[in-house]
Amino acid sequence: MKYLVGRDFAFPEYTPRFPPFYEFEVLHMRLDVSIDVANRSVDGLVKYRLRPRKDGARVVLDAVEMDVLSVSHDFYYDGEKIEIKPQWKAGEVVEVAVKYRARPRAGIYFVTPHGQRRGVYVWTQGESEYNRYWVPLPDSPNIKFPWTVAVTVPKPLVAGSNGLLVEVKEGEDSRTYVWEMRHPMSPYLLAIAAGDFEIYSEKCGEVLLEYYIPRYVGGEWRHSFYNTCEIMRFFSEYLGVPYPYERYAQVVVPEFIYGGMENTTFTILTDWTIHDKHAHCPYGEFPCPGQEDFSSDPLVAHEMAHMWFGDLVTAKDWGHIAINESFATFIEALWTERSKGREEYLYEIYTNFRTYLGEYSRRYSRPIVTNVYKIPDEVFDRHAYEKGSVVLHMLRSLLGDDDFRRGLKVFLERNRYRAVDIEDLRKALEEASGRDLEWFWRQFFYAAGHPVLKISWSYSDGVLRLQIKQSQGEDSYPVYTIPLEVKVVYEDGRREVRELQLGEREVALQIPGGKPRYVCVDPAFKVMKALDLQYPLESAIAMLNDEDLYCRLQAVEALKRNGSPKAVEALAKALGDGFWGVAAEAARALGEIGTGEAVYKLIEGYWRARHPRVRRAIVEALGNARRKEAAEFLDKVLHSAEESYYVRAEAARALGRIRWEYAEHSLRKALEYSSHLDVIKRGALEGLAELGSDDALRVVLRHTESDMPTYVRASAVQSLAKFGPRREVLDAVKAALRDENFRVRYAAVTAALELLDHRLIPDLQERMERDVDGRIRRVAREVVERIRRAMERGAEYQKLREEVEKLREEYRKLLDRVGKSYAG
């Protein structure tokens, strides 16, 4: 029964975790906190009004590495928890106060001027369990309470927090901002941010919208947030529950360790999301709907979706994080559907499924809902985000949009300001639809893996014979019970959709009715599954013209597997598909085929493509083909100032993979180009690393140094692995593993993943044991296990390195995906 636990996720010492039971309820918290920028410290006084659930109840507050200066009652502090013992009886209301000082290693971050970035910025990050580093509190999502926060900062800094601003107190050299969160919230959602902000505001109906923008950003911030009100209106309409609070602030800060974090009414976002018009619309005028290259909409929508799923209703423990993250990822896709259309939505769900498959195939599998983990951060993964979003899409398809929306409204209204589990969602959807859903929950929430369907068909004597075999592995549900539609398109143009109910390992279906032109499984993409396609060549070519997006995507996959000249010709035509996602997939398929004709067709298709993401896919494919005839073309793309930043960055990476004789000169020149997030420079560094020369190594090492922007340093550190385990490389990776910047340390761990050098084990073990960030502790442990397996395998070492190269590419893309952050 491996499907109940999965594969390679839980290490041997892991045991089930359960939410803590608190012997008291919190009626209100009052926090007065003073920020000392110079010493990177905080001084605080926190007061709780509490009611015990029983006589003599203990009050236990999480408080890590603090100086506890005084407590209002008898207490004991062990460096991680304060245990307070008031003399009280059940039902009695008592105030407990703690005065403290902290210089936190996590939870609150101090950012000083660097390069073109001016001003001082201080911000917090509470999820999963990091607020305990800067304020004593019961740090678990299953407890909720309202709070008042008074933040004192040196002038001229501005300080914001959750809820509503109720008072500003002027001091001689300081200013105190008093904020009230009047609704009960889980402690990890408590947040403050202070800095040299320009605050812009507008109204969306009765809701106050605010934008805290660092002064160094300038007017480009508007490209990121212009859809905020429309997104809020759509979510309110779709969910049937109006935006639940009086205010919504989006706060942009430098060096944020995630893409965004949904602190109730006070979302904190990375400044990486700020972009200019050329990054957004390289080939047209802003806002160029349907033609964007870089957009903040996914990030804005994802974090705002949490105001309902995660904040209004919260997962009671981290094992049920699907209530927060699966929903935010899914609802983000709903905004895509509303703003860009059905095909964009389906392609986003399709891409989410493939992102999950990357984690499933190259790292581990686990049930979406599990309580077997060690570090809460571990469950903030592609299973919780992307796979969960696909499962919710399945539910929507199964129930129909009306019943699905009714169920979500019941769930939100019934559980307003409560902490719940995934069973509460099932009950709400069952009530709204009148259908039993336990079978669905058991297969897709409580079991690891996914269906794998092997599809083949043949025709003879007037009968179509369709065979469907479930071929998933032991870490997936043994035999899935799922509805499945099959579309048959006949030679005479007739179309027929058959509805099947799979419930056996193998199903053979005979369909009379004439000779089929092609067969498409699940044409509307209603079911999560991997397909093993065995479609005839001519049928796959014909299916490229189907009206359903998912059928065309299946055709591209089948033609890629075929790889014949005829398949190349068909894929070249698909570069002109009316939807950019199909054209991009066709480009990648041609790159994998990699023949001279495929390269010629890609270059020819580039000039016809008007969507920047199709051009991105084409230049990526040219690099994957690794044929020198593509290099001169990529060189022109790289140095074209009118081309998209991201297309040029991809061209730089591709040029390095081809290893053209003039590539190093070309890539060094590209280091001088300015672009959004320095993506061209970062692409050039990755391209230089592919070349592997001594001169290239010197250039990459220079860009790992602390005077470089964080995103440049992270790309350079990760690129070091391409040079192999040289002494200079190992020394640089070891230094980066101890860097104070989270993104640089994370890049070092992923570089170690590719190097697989046993000399890195002691440094990785130190990260496993001592790093304050749970994500780095988890990945460092995975890398150590992989290095040990590589040492044991011997002859299989090279094969493992090839697997790791694919995994490294996933990590690179994950690092760059600002909108799909681990936290928010």
Q: Give backbone dihedrals phi and psi of 60, rounded to 5 degrees, phi first.
A: -115, 120
List CB contacts of 368: < 8 A, sequence separation 6 or more. 322, 326, 383, 384, 387, 388, 391, 444, 445, 446
**pLDDT at site 625:** 86
Chain Cα centroid distance, residue 360: 15
**What residue ranges in 130-206 does DSSP mark as E strands?**
145-154, 158-161, 164-170, 174-185, 192-195, 197-204
**pLDDT at site 290:** 86
Four-residue CA torsion sign, 44, 49, 55, 60: negative
**pLDDT at site 415:** 98
Query: By three-state DSSP, how is residue 822 classified?
Result: coil
For residue 798, pLDDT beyond 80: no
**375, 15 Cβ separation under 8 angstroms:** no
Angstrom distance (rounded) from CA 288 to CA 303 = 23
| Single-letter code of the amino acid located at 155 | K
Chain Cα centroid distance, residue 651: 25
For residue 811, pLDDT beyond 60: no
Query: By three-state DSSP, how is residue 513 classified?
Result: coil
Least confident of 216-220, 282-286, 810-814: 810-814
Residue range 316-444 forms a domain whose CATH class is mainly alpha
Q: Where are the alpha helices (DSSP H) in 288-364?
A: 297-305, 325-340, 342-362
Chain Cα centroid distance, residue 808: 16
**pLDDT at site 117:** 76
Assigned token pair, 473: 């592995």
Sheet containing 121-124: which strands, arranged edge to edge?
108-111, 121-124, 192-195, 158-161
| Residue whose pair of structure tokens reads 């069952």 in the numeric block | 430
pLDDT band at 822 (very low <50, low <70, confident <90, very high): very low
**pLDDT at site 796:** 58
CATH number of the 563-676 domain? 1.25.10.10
Q: Give backbone dihedrals phi and psi of 739, rounded to 5 degrees, phi first.
A: -65, 150
The Cα-based distances of 609 to 74, 281, 644 in angstroms read 71, 14, 13
Angstrom distance (rounded) from CA 27 to CA 302 = 30
Angstrom distance (rounded) from CA 429 to CA 392 = 11
**pLDDT at site 793:** 78
Of 3.40.50.800, 3.30.1300.10, 3.30.420.80, 1.25.10.10, which CATH number belongs to 692-824? 1.25.10.10
| Over residues 612-624, mean pLDDT | 97
What is the total residue count of the chain?
Answer: 824
pTM score, two decimals? 0.95
For the residues of 43-99, what is the DSSP string, one character each?
EEEEEEEEEESSTT--EEEE--SEEEEEESS-EEE-SSEEEE-----TT--EEEEEE
**pLDDT at site 738:** 97
Is it true that 563-676 and 692-824 share their CATH fold? yes
**pLDDT at site 799:** 60
For residue 353, pLDDT beyond 50: yes
Sheet containing 197-204: which strands, arranged edge to edge?
197-204, 207-214, 247-253, 266-270, 260-261
Angstrom distance (rounded) from CA 268 to CA 259 = 9
Instruction: Report the candidate in 50, 53, 82, 52 with the shortest Cα–Cα distance to residue 69.
Output: 82
Angstrom distance (rounded) from CA 356 to CA 394 = 15
Query: By three-state DSSP, how is residue 224 classified?
Result: helix
For residue 797, pLDDT beyond 70: no
pLDDT band at 817 (very low <50, low <70, confident <90, very high): low
Angstrom distance (rounded) from CA 785 to CA 252 = 37
Instruction: Report the candidate in 542, 523, 543, 521 with the shortest Cα–Cα distance to residue 532.
Output: 521
Q: How many helices (H) and strands (E) does the chain have?
A: 27, 28
Assigned token pair, 86: 């008031």
Assigned token pair, 225: 């947030």
**pLDDT at site 627:** 86
Q: Give backbone dihedrals phi and psi of 292, rounded to 5 degrees, phi first.
A: -65, 145
Assigned token pair, 707: 């005077």
Assigned token pair, 106: 């996590």
For residue 45, pLDDT beyond 60: yes
pLDDT band at 795 (very low <50, low <70, confident <90, very high): very low
- Domain limits, the chain: 20-195, 316-444, 563-676, 692-824
Largest CA distance in the chain: 93
Instruction: Report the candidate in 209, 139, 278 with the shortest Cα–Cα distance to residue 677.
Output: 278
Angstrom distance (rounded) from CA 583 to CA 580 = 5
Q: What is the tens place of the pLDDT at every residue in 421-475?
A: 999 999 999 999 999 999 999 999 999 999 999 999 999 989 999 999 999 999 9
**559, 540 Cβ separation under 8 angstroms:** yes
Q: What is the tens place of the pLDDT at every residue in 734-763?
A: 999 999 999 999 999 999 999 999 999 999
| Single-letter code of the amino acid located at 412 | L
Q: What is the tens place of the pLDDT at every residue in 492-543?
A: 999 999 999 999 999 999 999 899 999 999 999 999 999 999 899 999 999 9
Chain Cα centroid distance, residue 412: 24
Four-residue CA torsion sign, 646, 652, 656, 660: positive
The Cα-based distances of 85 to 30, 136, 165, 690 in angstroms read 20, 15, 34, 62
**pLDDT at site 194:** 98
Angstrom distance (rounded) from CA 199 to CA 193 = 13
Chain Cα centroid distance, residue 94: 42
**pLDDT at site 821:** 45
The Cα-based distances of 737 to 106, 757, 762 in angstroms read 17, 14, 11
Q: How much of the chain, in percent, has pLDDT values that exceed 70?
A: 96
Angstrom distance (rounded) from CA 536 to CA 517 = 10
Strand partners, 372: 16
Q: By CB neighbour count within 10 A (0-12 exposed, 13-18 middle, 19+ buried), where does 268 fall?
A: buried
- Under CATH, which architecture does the 20-195 domain have? Sandwich (2.60)
Angstrom distance (rounded) from CA 650 to CA 188 = 38
The Cα-based distances of 576 to 42, 437, 581, 596, 605 in angstroms read 58, 42, 11, 20, 8
Query: By three-state DSSP, how is residue 440 classified?
Result: helix
| Residue whose pair of structure tokens reads 């090279």 in the numeric block | 798
Angstrom distance (rounded) from CA 100 to CA 122 = 19
